[in-house]
Amino acid sequence: MRGRVGTCVRPWQRYHATTVRTFSAGAKDAGTSNPTEYCKELVRNHDYEGYLVSQLYPRQYQSAFYALRAFYIELSMIKDTVSQTTLGQARLVFWRDAVKDIFANKPPRHPIALGLYEATQRSRLAQYHFQRIIEAREQELHAQSHLTVESMTLHAESTASTFLYLLLSLLNLPSATLSHAASHLGVAQSFTTLLRAFPFHASKGMMVIPAEITARHGVSQQEVLTKGGTSKALEEAVFEFATIANDNLLTARSVFRETGGRVPEEAMPVFALAIPVASILGRLEEVDFDVYDSRLQVRDWKLAFRVWRGYYKRTF
């Protein structure tokens, strides 16, 4: 068990692969007649944790959740599914224009865009949040790795945290306190997702851990990206990065300290997304922070139960 990162002791015990499917043009055409079903299937196929959490939303908000999550997934997949940066930019231009048209009451005939339009008619969703996510994904096309933790944190806040702000708006929960917790949860979620997918990103020539951390532990990025496999240095770097994610999760929890850690009932569907984050961090600890351990790629069969238990206890 690791308890040392750099020169400071940080007790990890402080916190107590999805099959890729693509939708053809025909599927998208068919999806315009039933945007909710299209978005729901996209979430089901690409985001198991998101699909589990979707069941916690009040029925009148579920279709909007699927649309928002499908939008988020669609944008997050762009850099991994295009062969050229210009193609990725073209898709982002489409979504930038689509968001403008959605808020001008003239959504394009795309199932996700139609689903988003229905969501904006139900709740007061800020156009700024959509544009912020798009801009962050565009930056990602040009600079896929980060030199500092600060840079990666800012990116996480512009993507995962901003998505959580949209979910709070969807449920009509304008609260600075909830937004503060969501900000830290988004960072934790972003970092743990990157660590779980480390082997995939490394196979594509991308180092997901900031350079300031890998340099501190003497990780040879060239060796990791060309040969693969773990090492003592890499495991120490993973431990430090995971600890930062865990610290953000703890900060999100601390927001609810005065209520004994219990989240307001109406906000729990949003914060249930923290439960898979805690699961990933726990499993990383179990394999001693070896991101290449195959057990990390096996679906957590207890997760569904943990999500439901956390929802009813209103804790994460």
Are 191 and 248 in contact by the 8 Å Cβ rule? The answer is: yes
Are 165 and 41 in contact by the 8 Å Cβ rule? The answer is: no
Cβ-proximal residues to 4 (8 Å cutoff; 6+ apart), any chain: 10
**Residue 241 one-letter amino acid:** F
Specify the pLDDT at position 142.
Answer: 87
Listed as ranges, residues in the chain with pLDDT below 70 are 1-30
Instruction: Name the residue among 290, 284, 269 with its Cα closest to residue 49.
Output: 269
Are 214 and 147 in contact by the 8 Å Cβ rule? The answer is: no
Determine the straight-line distance between the first and last CA of the chain, rounded to whole angstroms: 24
Specify the pLDDT at position 28.
Answer: 60
Specify the pLDDT at position 2.
Answer: 59
Specify the pLDDT at position 26.
Answer: 52
Instruction: Name the residue among 247, 237, 243, 250 with its Cα closest to residue 291.
Output: 237
Region label for 229, one of left (φ > 0), alpha (ψ between -120 and 50) or beta (otherwise)? left
- pLDDT per position as a tens digit, 251-280: 999 999 999 999 999 999 999 999 999 999
Specify the pLDDT at position 13.
Answer: 41
Work out the angle between the directed axes of helices 59-76 and 85-103 (0-180°, nearest 10).
Answer: 150
Specify the pLDDT at position 12.
Answer: 47
* CA–CA separation, 271 and 185 (whole Å): 8
- pLDDT per position as a tens digit, 121-157: 999 999 999 999 999 999 999 887 899 999 999 999 9
Specify the pLDDT at position 211.
Answer: 96
